Structure 1
Amino acid sequence: MAHDLLIGTYTQRLPHVDGHAEGVVAARFDGDRIDDATVAARVTNPSWVAAAPDGRAVYAVEETGPDGRVHAFARDDGGALTPLGSVSSGGADPAHLLVHPFGRFLLAGTYSGGSVSVWRLNADGSIGERTAFVQHEGRGPDDARQEGPHVHQLSVDPVTGDVVVVDLGLGQVRWYALSEEGALTLREDATVALGAAGPRHLVFHPDGRHALVVGELDDVLHVLRREGDRFTLVGGASTRAAVAAGEALPTGENTSAAVRLTEDGRTVLVSNRGDDTIAVFAFEASTSGLVMEAVVPAHGRTPRDLVLSPEGDRLLVACQDSDEVTVFAFDAGTRELRFLTSSEIPTPVCLLFV
């Protein structure tokens, strides 16, 4: 079955990437490859995109300058995007967006700014008043990468409804209560400290009892388990094949990026930039056990984001520095990934089915 796909990109040369796309890309995924790729919205460095639950509104960051922006678009039945305006992201280099599952609020996290903003969404999908702004303060143990707060991802706790903020710079995962009015209140007792791991992205297990966090600085997939009203760190495993095999690390730097979990919660997938691989883990919820099953070449350079198809039998990988999205067949029973195709997309970094 064919599906609509939105792809976030970089459009400018920056210290960490040679961006040369033209904006948000819209495409069709036919089950094997990506076709009909077009520029749907000309935004500068739209490195993260999000959509309303019904797909009728789309949002993109403008990751550039000392004060980034967040853009809103109406999406019609044909997939075309019509601008609905933009607002300041509240800090430098917005890195992530979250549409609350009920569709009433939009949240943004800024990487260099280290802040979180909440806006009320209007009925037409446009961005309304800002209802909350939180500025993180402090630093982590790594002087080079954790000199200040760096918000990297936002998600919603499926049990409590709290907003979960992953801050790479502080080395923390923080839980915030979100009120009916859109205010954020820190639940200090629920903060998880991961320090020099440099937590980047988190995914919740379907059981609501576990969360898995990938560390960008330590290349470890960390397992968190809910104990009462908070999470604690209970385990983890390296995302790199050499470490898992007890061998010497290959030369060159590696930074883990994205983490995805299959619908049944049995398999965890992590992208490695540098090694240019996809790590495949088995997860056993009854024991909180994590075991590396395989490490597969990404068939492209700098695999940034990954996403499973709605049917769960395909994995798409945004290979930022080789200008392509690679596609793998995925067998949920055996956890096998088999490379299928590669489609040319300029500087892809975020993948979203709508």
Structure 2
Amino acid sequence: MSSTYILSGSYAAADQAGITLWALDLATGKLAKQAEVSGVERPSFLAVHPNGTSFVAVSETGDGEVAAYWLNPQKGLIQELNRQKTGGGHPAHITIDEDGQWAISVTYSGAHVTVHSLSADGSIGEMADSKRHKGSGADPERQDAAHPHSAFQLPGTNRFFVSDLGMDALVRYRLDLHAGTLEQEAVTKTAPGAGPRHLAFHPFEAFAYGVNELDSTVSVYAIHDKGLKEVQKVSTLPEHFTGTNTPAEIAVSRDGRFVYASNRGHDSIAVFRVKKGLLEPVGHADAGGAGPRHFTLVPGSPWIVIAHEESGTIAVKRIGGDGMPGETADVAETVAPVCVRLLK
């Protein structure tokens, strides 16, 4: 039986199982719980180390931390290695550079972009650098201050783009791979009130796709000299939808043919076809639960795995040849899942 492994993070309390390891049967799309771990409050976002035997999680609290874990998926084992402070409140996202040397986290309330070293076993070292964003945006409630929401590495480079929801900006940093220090190189502004949240890169074309939380859009960026220039903006919603909605995650299929974005409120996955880097709307698929905060596409398979914060479920849906998620293969219950990560 061919299977792969998925890690889920959540908004669970410290005494609840906040991180869960799942086996995904690639033939049937069924999920089986392999292990779970408690002890960290709101272990929301996860990043898997390139070694495939360790990962890191943020503790999204006012006194934010990052925690490192070792795991053996075949034996269903997860063990905490250590923790470090993030230097700011409510860390919302973390990523590990392609070489596995550095963990870059962002604090939504603290407005910090922070770098920690990583040891060979995956444990977190001392803080190497921290940069603080200052600014605001057009929305007085959501954009009263800078709110960095994610950091994504431009593949094959030492550049990272931080989407700052509060500043309506994508900030480009150069990471010194020896010292772990960040140098701000450029700022790309979005439309006022857009609220950039997450970013995804085309696998072989020079384009990036940013999902904007506040105006329910996707911005298409052409990549020039490691910088971004917006060339298109499309809605994540059906034309006549009038309810409240906040998109959350965006991803590009491994073959580069489709882009997917999750809608919280409309509770759907918006699907776009990629044509010469630009997007053509295909349609909207039911997300299979309430509040689809995050999802992952499983390479080499038809499966999309979706974490629903509000309904407390993780759904596995089959993607058809037209790019649309359709049949639900499985739904697993868990506490307030907000991140699902494929083990490398």
| TM-score w.r.t. length of structure 1 | 0.91
Distance 1:296 1:27, change over 3 A: same
- Within the candidate set 271, 284, 293, 2:262 is matched to 271
Asked if the contact 1:262/1:312 (under 8 Å) is kept, the reply is no
Partner of residue 337, structure 1: 325
Which segment drifts farther, 341-350 or 254-263?
Answer: 341-350
Aligned partner of 1:262 among 228, 241, 253: 253
SS at match of 2:282: strand
**Structure 1 range deviating more: 190-199 or 53-62:** 190-199
Give the 5 Å matches for 1:179-258: 179=176, 180-188=178-186, 190-241=187-238, 243=239, 247=240, 249-250=241-242, 252-258=243-249
Conserved in 2, the CA contact under 8 Å of 1:172 and 1:193?
Answer: yes
Which of 1, 22, 35 aligns to 1:27? It is 22
SS of the residue aligned with 1:191?
A: strand
Q: Retained in 2: the 8 A contact 1:9–1:21?
A: no
Q: Aligned partner of 1:266: which letter?
A: R
- The answer to which of 35-44 and 276-285 deviates more is 35-44
Contact 2:16–2:39 (CA under 8 A) maintained in structure 1: no
Structure 2 counterpart of 1:62: 59
Contact persistence 2:148–2:162 (CA under 8 A): yes
Residues 100-111 of structure 1: pairs in structure 2 closer than 5 A: 100-111=97-108
Counterpart residue number, 2:86: 89
1:282 to 2:273 alignment: yes
Moved more, 97-106 or 288-297: 288-297
Q: Which amino acid aligns with 1:283?
A: V
> Residue 3 of structure 2 corresponds to which residue in structure 1?
2
Moved segments of 4+, more than 4 Å: none
Deviation (angstroms), 1:37: 5.0
1:99 corresponds to 2:96: yes
Q: Assess if the C-alpha contact under 8 Å between 1:271 and 1:304 holds in 2.
A: yes
Q: Can you give the 5+ residue segments of structure 1 that lack an aligned partner in the other structure?
A: 13-18
SS of the residue corresponding to residue 215 of structure 2 reads coil
Tell me, yes or no, if structure 1 residue 324 matches structure 2 residue 313.
yes
Tell me, what secondary structure is at the counterpart of 1:223? strand
Q: Are 1:24 and 1:42, in contact at CA under 8 Å, matched by a contact in 2?
A: no
Q: 1:229 to 1:106 in 2, by over 3 A?
A: closer
> What's the CA shift for 1:38?
3.7
Contact 1:26 1:38 in 2 (8 A): yes
Where does residue 119 of structure 1 map in the other structure?
116
Is 2:286 aligned against 1:297? Answer: yes
Letter in 1 for 2:119: N
Task: Give distance in 2, aligned partners of 1:38 and 1:313.
Answer: 25
Contact 1:33 1:327 in 2 (8 A): yes
Change over 3 Å in CA distance of 1:282–1:125 after alignment to 2:
same
Q: Which residue, 139, 142, 166 being the options, matches 2:139?
A: 142
CA–CA distance in structure 1, aligned partners of residues 25 and 157 of structure 2: 37
Matched-pair identity in %: 33
SS in 1 for 2:98: coil
Which residue identity does 1:305 align to in structure 2?
A: H
Please give the per-residue CA displacement for 1:298-335, whole angstroms capped at 9, x wherever unaligned: 1211111111113241011111111111111113x421
Amino acid at match of 1:202: L
Contact 1:260 1:269 (C-alpha < 8 Å) held by counterparts: yes
8 A Cα contact 1:111 1:151, kept in partner = yes
* Alpha-carbon distance, 1:228 to partner: 3.9
Q: Could you list the per-position Cα deviations for residues 177-232 of structure 1 after superposition, in whole angstroms to 9, with x for gaps in the alignment?
A: 111211100003x5343431000110011125100000000000110002344211
Alpha-carbon contact 1:159-1:208 (below 8 Å) kept: no
Answer whether contact 2:23 2:32 (CA < 8 A) is retained.
yes
What is the RMSD computed on CA atoms of the aligned residues?
1.7
Partner Cα distance (1:337, 1:289) in 2 = 21
Structure 1 residue 36: Cα displacement: 2.1
Per-residue CA deviations over 1:64-88 (Å, capped at 9, x if unaligned) read 12x2100111223524122211010
- Cα separation, 2, equivalents of 1:337 and 1:48: 24
Seen in structure 2, the aligned counterparts of structure 1 residues 79 and 58 have a Cα distance that, compared at 3 Å, is farther
Q: CA deviation at 1:141?
A: 1.3
User: Would you say 1:71 and 2:67 are equivalent positions?
Assistant: yes
- How far apart are the structure 1 equivalents of 2:197 and 2:185? 20
